[in-house]
Amino acid sequence: MLTLKIINEQRDEVIRRLACKNFDAKEIIGQIIDADGRRKATQTQLDATLAEIKAQSKSIGALMKEGRKAEAESARAIVSSLKESTKQLDVLLKETEEKIQSLLVLIPNLPHESVPEGKSAEDNYIERIGGEIPELPTDAQPHWELAKKYDLIDFELGVKITGAGFPVYKGKGARLQRSLINFFLDCARDAGFTEIQPPYVVNAASGFGTGQLPDKEGQMYHAQLDDLYLIPTAEVPVTNIYRDVILEEKDLPIKNAAYSACFRREAGSYGKDVRGLNRLHQFDKVEIVCIEKPEKSYERLDYMVRYVQTLVEKLELPWRILRLCGGDMSFTSALTFDFEVFSAAQKRWLEVSSVSNFESYQANRLKCRYRDADRKIQLCHTLNGSALALPRIMAALLENNQTAEGIRIPKILTPYTGFEIIN
């Protein structure tokens, strides 16, 4: 979340920049500044009262030694009254601080100055594009038909076992899925990322730390008896490793990678855009998470974007990178680049990755800090990205590589799959 320092010192700038996210912040910023003024006044009054208690308490002993019992008793009465005042002031201070926090979590992160204005995905800016779109025969099949034809994925069985959006991978489909996971993890290791195997459920504090709570609780599966949440992405547990942690500057940057299953209660919808693997409630993903110094975070973001680009290039998929507009960005992001691959049979672009810089927004919620060269405590910047999400990668691989003989496996994956073609 934004810091009070930024809000108090850059009020007009905060309001201006949040307008890029189509968020009218004028009223809520005013409420926060007013509440913070009350908090400061209450804290000043509390400090003065505590100082008076200390002075009166000190005088009592001296008055008793001098035999001035009446005056000592009067001082005791004053101290007792002041102590009651501090209880009231403590309650008022706590209520005001809670009010400020409840307002702060309603404000999205400030978008970077390079974020284009816009209201929806239609307004995103195409940063760059690469790869060749394959020419498929007119009878080319979408991945859900290929999955059935070659017995790779059983969507109906997933419905029987659990419900829609929980597919069952079988045979060479399961092996291809596992091959992609291992390939992405090996690439991450070779690039210097430390592999993490995180829990798949987190507590509410972790959900709050990365911004899923209270903003996105409706999209998360909640185990109410234990008050735990199934993770929507490995970003949540991996970033929370550094909650309430003070790092040393020499330890930065931190580069972690994690494979996990991901669980999302997406809003129900129908049509070809959500058929097959296009939208799932459970899916696999390899995530990269970086913790960086503020002055280096946009260099790190560029590094992460180029790293993800190498993955789609190695898979021989046509790709493009989008710089998201203000209206299509997440609540917590300062700048996001989306990767899409072209699905030749569906004739549409499919999102497979988002790579984002959150600046200090998550770090402030997490209290993820570092000690700089001057031994001062500073907030870190956090970044993450999908590297990569598997369902739509799988969809594009199946569709784009279909031939009369079967589905060709990209050369980079054959050491992992143990086969070159699905037939």
The domain total for the chain is: 2
Residue 205: inside a domain, yes or no?
A: yes
Residue 109: inside a domain, yes or no?
A: no
Give the C-alpha separation, 422 to 174, whole Å: 12
pLDDT of amino acid 272 = 56
Residue 366: inside a domain, yes or no?
A: yes
What are the distances in angstroms from CA 224 to CA 203, 229, 267? 11, 8, 20
Domain C-terminal end among 104, 136, 165: 104
Residue 110: inside a domain, yes or no?
A: no
**Largest Cα span, the chain:** 109
Supply the CATH number for residue 72's domain: 1.10.287.40
Residue 71: inside a domain, yes or no?
A: yes
Give the C-alpha separation, 97 to 103, whole Å: 10
Percentage of the chain lying above the pLDDT 70 cut: 98
Same domain, 135 and 8: no
What are the distances in angstroms from CA 74 to CA 48, 55, 69? 19, 13, 9
Cα radius of gyration rounded to whole Å, the chain: 28
Residue 336: inside a domain, yes or no?
A: yes
What are the distances in angstroms from CA 403 to CA 138, 159, 270, 315? 12, 29, 29, 17
Same domain, 333 and 253: yes
pLDDT of amino acid 271 = 55
Supply the CATH number for residue 229's domain: 3.30.930.10
Confidence of residue 408 (pLDDT cuts 50, 70, 90): very high
Residue 311: inside a domain, yes or no?
A: yes
- In 3D space, the residue among 395, 152, 168, 402 whose CA is nearest the CA of residue 282 turns out to be 168
Can you read off the two tokens belonging to residue 297?
């975070």
pLDDT of amino acid 72 = 84
Same domain, 138 and 99: no
Same domain, 180 and 77: no
Give the C-alpha separation, 215 to 218, whole Å: 8
> SS3 for 353?
strand
Domain C-terminal end among 73, 104, 135: 104
pLDDT one-digit tens code per residue, 281-295: 999 999 999 999 999
Half-sphere exposure of 157 (CA within 13 A, CB side): 10
pLDDT one-digit tens code per residue, 104-151: 999 999 999 999 999 999 999 999 999 999 999 889 999 999 999 999
Same domain, 147 and 61: no
Same domain, 86 and 130: no
pLDDT of amino acid 196 = 98
pLDDT one-digit tens code per residue, 185-236: 999 999 999 999 999 999 999 999 999 998 777 899 999 999 999 999 999 9
pLDDT one-digit tens code per residue, 139-190: 999 999 999 999 999 999 999 999 999 999 999 999 999 999 999 999 999 9
Same domain, 267 and 390: yes
Which residue segment(s) compose the domain that 215 sits in? Answer: 121-422
Same domain, 310 and 242: yes
Same domain, 92 and 155: no
Same domain, 237 and 340: yes
Same domain, 96 and 145: no
Same domain, 54 and 175: no
User: Angle between the 171-190 and 390-400 helix axes, to the nearest 10 degrees?
Assistant: 120
Residue 116: inside a domain, yes or no?
A: no
More confident residue, 244 or 63: 244
pLDDT one-digit tens code per residue, 337-385: 999 999 999 999 999 999 999 999 999 999 999 999 999 999 999 999 9
Least confident of 38-42, 166-170, 202-206, 270-274: 270-274
Region 55-67 average pLDDT: 83
Domain C-terminal end among 55, 70, 104: 104
